[in-house]
Every structure is written in C-alpha cells, then in structure tokens.
C-alpha cells in the first residue's frame, strides 16, 4: 500500500527514484493499493479532509496501474483505523465503495512499524549496535505476535483461522524476512498469492 506523499518531494530525483521502486513492485507482478496521500488517521481527521487525502493518494497509482492495464481497487486505512464512530465509519466505507475500493483484510497487525521506525532511527544516528539488537529481536517478537493471534483465534472461533499478516516495508523487515518466513513455515503456515 502506497502513501504517495511519502514518496518525497525534496527533489525530483529522489521522488523519481522512489516512484521507480513502485514501478518495480508492479513489474514484479504485485498489485498495489492506496493508503492515502499523507497516511492520515481517520480517528482524528475530519471526514472531508480524509476523503481529499484518499483522492490525492490515487493519482500516481491510477496512472501506473493504468499503464499496465490494471485498475486501482485496494485501500488500506492508515493505522487500520476506520473512524471514531459508527456514522464516520459508514460514511468512509460508502465513500470508498463509491470510488471502487475494497478494503484489504488483516487478521494480524504486529505493529512492526515500531521496529522499522526504531531501526531507521538507529541507522540515522549511525548506531550500528542498536540497529543490530533491534534486528535480532524482530523475529522473536513476530513469533510472540503469532502466538498471541493464534490463541485469540482459538478463543474467538474455537479453532485457528487463516491469517492475513500485515508487514511494513522497511530495511529491518526485508533483512529479517527469510528468517521470519522460516519461522512461519515452522508454525504450519503456507503463503498464498
């Protein structure tokens, strides 16, 4: 899920390099979705401003998908927050449906962005030891999250359900992904497209 505003505007070269990364994901066969322009939380943003942010976040994705004969159909609520009350949730859902969106399912929100942010901050400070320690704790943390959500599914449904894991695109997740995938497979998971 792409937040177009996070692709950067500091100079055209940086923005174009980041757009090339989005193109690479599409060229690899991945379907991308909109996460608003500025990753605004509907819980504390007026609905009309949030809707404008959704529309603003579509322009690049619609163009890039259109170049490949695809349409933009997926939306991800920033922070998975669907609004502060039932009226806002209904209005936001109707707005998204009217624009042709489906909201992606998530059953496991590991909050891994906290690892991503801490790791990035350690790297920014050139603190290699802290970055290494954060990376070393990532997979054990993710395994604890899997245990929690597996238990929750047994408590709620009386069985384990198919899970949809949400991950943050970041260096720490990428660097640890092979180990995390091995952990998930050990736990009996298989990946579906």
Structure tokens at 19: 């757009």
Q: Along the 193 residues of the chain, how does pLDDT read in single tens digits?
A: 999 888 876 666 668 888 999 999 999 999 999 999 999 999 999 999 999 999 999 999 999 999 999 999 999 999 899 999 999 999 999 999 999 999 999 999 998 999 999 999 999 999 999 999 999 999 999 999 999 999 999 999 999 999 999 898 899 999 999 999 999 999 999 988 7
Q: Give CA–CA dist 136/130, Å, rounded.
A: 10
pLDDT digits (tens, 9 = 90+) for 2-22: 998 888 766 666 688 889 999
pLDDT at residue 138, as a whole number: 96
Enter the pTM of the model. Answer: 0.83
pLDDT at residue 13, as a whole number: 67
Structure tokens at 7: 């692709």
pLDDT at residue 149, as a whole number: 96
DSSP letter, residue 2:
B
pLDDT at residue 165, as a whole number: 92
Q: Contacts from 135-143 at CB under 8 Å and sequence distance 24+?
A: 135/172, 135/175, 135/176, 138/112, 138/172, 138/173, 138/176, 138/180, 139/176, 139/179, 139/180, 139/183, 141/110, 141/112, 141/115, 142/110, 142/112, 142/180, 142/183, 143/183, 143/187
Pairing of strands 74-75, 108-109: unpaired
pLDDT at residue 94, as a whole number: 98
Q: Give CA–CA dist 87/69, Å, rounded.
A: 36
pLDDT at residue 191, as a whole number: 86
């Amino acid at each position: 899920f792409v937040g177009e505003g996070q692709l950067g505007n500091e100079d055209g070269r940086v923005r174009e390099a980041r757009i090339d990364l989005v193109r690479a994901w599409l060229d690899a066969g991945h379907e991308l979705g909109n996460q608003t322009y500025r990753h605004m939380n509907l819980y504390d943003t007026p609905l009309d401003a949030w809707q404008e942010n959704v529309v603003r976040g579509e322009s690049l994705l619609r163009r890039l998908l259109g170049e490949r004969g695809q349409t933009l159909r997926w939306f991800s609520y920033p922070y998975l927050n669907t609004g502060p009350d039932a009226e806002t949730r209904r209005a936001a859902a109707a707005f998204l449906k009217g624009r042709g969106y489906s909201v992606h399912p998530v059953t496991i929100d590991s909050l891994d962005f906290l690892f991503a942010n801490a790791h990035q901050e350690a790297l920014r400070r050139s603190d290699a030891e802290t970055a290494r320690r954060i990376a070393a704790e990532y997979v054990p943390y993710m395994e604890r999250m899997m245990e929690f959500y597996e238990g929750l599914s047994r408590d709620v449904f009386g069985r384990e359900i198919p899970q949809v894991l949400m991950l943050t695109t970041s260096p720490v997740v990428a660097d640890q992904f092979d180990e995390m995938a091995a952990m998930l497979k050990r736990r009996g998971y298989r990946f579906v497209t």
